[in-house]
């Protein structure tokens, strides 16, 4: 499983650490899928592995009772069928890349520009909340060599897919360094006021731009034409990158304790070096 959540920074104005909600949400989503912590008794009746990313979001949301709010994305590998199941709410998300090209990418869910759908503890700390039944669901048949990248909007708002693809690992052993390189690129663009980022391009498409006096002050003359300054720059935001490299053993595993796992998509990097995570809100 892979999960990423992004706490809403506006809570800092109320003296709340935005990471508290997102971390708790992801810890409970993981506990739900693993059948641990408060879900131990519930898990006793399960038959086999539970593939239920939206259920994980719902269970985590219903049991996260701390101030804050967050977007979230949870993905699971159904190893029997080689299928990746995903649930995404808000503008965190994922992309699956095959042979250097986008296979599928989650769609940001927003109420309006720069206001994503988000979970919050209702009615304890928020006046309203979005819910897991509003999340988009995905099911993707995977192949060996597929690369899964999950991240917060700090990644997607600052990096184009073409740059992400240029930094992909050549194999599982390069996964950690690739995740670090992608996160570093996003951070570099976030602090570049002249970079035409995905975030500012989307803002322009929504009719948002610099005030007229800033456009005039930044005016340039090129090619015999006057060019008014446009909105540019990256977006300073939380940046989390999770990367998994898909491996498959084609031959049936031998019987007995030496059996080999059929499909392997690394998890959160805590116990598997092939599944790195860069960023403090990744679980």
pLDDT at residue 114 in the model: 87
Which residues, 6+ apart, have CB-to-CB distance to 273 below 8 Å? 175, 176
The pTM of this model reads 0.80
Mean pLDDT over all residues of the chain?
84
137-166 mean pLDDT: 97
Q: Are 279 and 240 in contact (CB under 8 A)?
A: yes
| Alpha carbon distance 126, 156 (integer Å) | 27
183-189 mean pLDDT: 97
With cut-offs at 50, 70 and 90, classify the pLDDT of residue 270: very low
pLDDT at residue 282 in the model: 31
Lowest mean pLDDT among 14-28, 56-70, 124-138, 268-282: 268-282
Lowest mean pLDDT among 82-86, 199-203, 223-227, 255-259: 255-259
Query: Roughly how many angstroms between the first and final C-alpha of the chain, as a whole number?
Result: 9
- What angle do helix axes 53-63 and 18-34 make, rounded to 10 degrees? 130
In percent, the amount of the chain with pLDDT more than 90 equals 66
168-186 mean pLDDT: 96
With cut-offs at 50, 70 and 90, classify the pLDDT of residue 208: low
Give me the DSSP letters along 171-202: SGGGHHHHHHHHHHHHHHHHT-TT-B-HHHHH
In percent, the amount of the chain with pLDDT more than 70 equals 80
Q: Are 243 and 232 in contact (CB under 8 A)?
A: no
pLDDT at residue 219 in the model: 55
With cut-offs at 50, 70 and 90, classify the pLDDT of residue 259: very low
Which residues, 6+ apart, have CB-to-CB distance to 115 below 8 Å? none
Query: In order of start, what are the domains of the chain with their CATH numbers?
Result: 2-155+239-246 (3.60.40.10)
176-198 mean pLDDT: 95
With cut-offs at 50, 70 and 90, classify the pLDDT of residue 231: low
């Amino acid at each position: 499983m892979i999960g990423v959540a992004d706490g809403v920074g506006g809570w800092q104005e109320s003296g709340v650490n935005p990471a508290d909600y997102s971390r708790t949400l992801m810890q409970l989503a993981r506990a739900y899928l693993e059948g641990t912590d408060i879900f131990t008794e519930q898990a006793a009746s399960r038959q086999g592995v539970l593939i239920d990313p939206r259920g994980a979001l719902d269970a985590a949301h219903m049991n996260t009772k701390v101030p804050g709010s967050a977007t979230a994305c949870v993905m699971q590998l159904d190893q029997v069928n080689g299928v990746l199941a995903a649930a995404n709410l808000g503008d965190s998300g994922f992309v699956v890349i095959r042979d250097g090209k986008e296979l599928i990418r989650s769609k940001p869910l927003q109420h309006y520009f720069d206001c994503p759908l988000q979970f919050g503890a209702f009615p304890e700390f928020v006046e309203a909340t979005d819910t897991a039944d509003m999340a988009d669901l995905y099911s993707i048949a995977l192949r060996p060599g597929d690369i899964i990248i999950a991240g917060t909007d700090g990644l997607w708002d600052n990096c184009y897919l073409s740059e992400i693809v240029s930094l992909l690992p050549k194999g599982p052993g390069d996964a950690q360094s690739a995740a670090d390189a992608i996160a570093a690129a996003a951070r570099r663009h976030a602090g570049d006021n002249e970079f035409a980022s995905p975030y500012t391009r989307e803002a322009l498409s929504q009719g948002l731009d610099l005030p007229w006096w800033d456009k005039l002050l930044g005016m340039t003359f090129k090619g015999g034409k006057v060019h008014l300054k446009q909105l540019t720059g990256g977006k300073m935001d939380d940046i989390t990158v999770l990367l998994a490299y898909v491996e498959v053993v084609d031959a049936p595993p031998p019987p007995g304790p030496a059996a080999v796992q059929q499909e392997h998509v690394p998890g959160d990097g805590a116990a598997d070096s092939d599944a790195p995570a860069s960023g403090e809100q990744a679980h």
